Amino acid sequence: MTYDELKHVWISALRESTLPLLGIDPVQETIDLRSMDRSAKSFVGPLGQDAEPFHIGASLSWRWDSLNTARTATTEEDLLTELLGRESGSRVKTERPWLRIDVSLRASLPHGRLIPMPSSEVWAMWAHEAIGRLEAIEPIVPEKRTRPGRAGLLEYLAWQGEPIARVRCGLGGELQLEAVELSSWQAIDLPRKWDDSSRKPDKPPGEQLHAMFARVKAALHAWMEVMDHLRPRS
């Protein structure tokens, strides 16, 4: 699967998810002119903003390095022949490539508007509910997070971090909350391109992407609801 093919499947799955886009383009792309790596990022929000004064959103991003570009420019057989020679390349078995998708949830305050940093008790109550919902009720990463690898080592397929506060210190030393974030990532398996048409083709990533966007949709709703704990009380 090439970069353009993946981007096409990504945009299709994103639109079918009905997640509201934050921005004009479904994918914002950049390219590193030194390494020729490509980066793609999409910004989405929940179905309706209901966490005043917080604005809720999520970013989903992935990096396509130059090695992936070289590998997908031809078939697996041709690549092995080019790297190892015809005799050695024919004896080597390849594994499916995979891509890391980074997903970050964010709740931010409007520019120039800050609120007092919540007490440790309030923060602990909020963090407990936020993590509980994003792990047990509306999980943002797949249930299967590891699998057995070579030499008995575990391969990690997904990860979720803990909530992080973005805090600004005022002139008087007071701490003010600017935003809260939660980072995660998961691995997406990509199909290989074979010259041998008799080989069973690898499964395309569409199903994985649809499931990921569905989780993000549910997680954004949960993330928006738990912000009630951090709202300033009048």
Q: Annotate 127-186 with DSSP letters as a single string.
A: HHHHHHIIIIIS-SS-S--EEE-GGGPEEE-EEE---EEEEEE-TTS-EEEEEEEEEEEE
Q: Per residue in 72-131, pLDDT tens?
A: 888 877 777 777 777 666 667 878 889 999 999 999 998 778 888 888 899 999 999 999
156: which 2 tokens?
A: 């990690």
Per the structure, the complete domain to which residue 149 belongs is given by: 3-230
Comparing CA positions, the residue from 182, 192, 184 lying closest to residue 142 is 184
pLDDT confidence bin for 234, thresholds 50/70/90: low
In the chain, how many domains are there?
A: 1
Q: Which amino acid is at 173?
A: G
Whole-number pLDDT of residue 224? 94
Average pLDDT of span 20-32? 92
Whole-number pLDDT of residue 90? 66
CB-CB contact of 89 with 75 (8 Å):
no
Q: Per residue in 169-201, pLDDT tens?
A: 888 888 989 999 999 999 999 998 888 888 888
What is this structure's pTM? Answer: 0.89
Q: How far apart are CA 156 and CA 7, in angstroms?
A: 24
Q: How far apart are CA 128 and CA 120, in angstroms?
A: 12
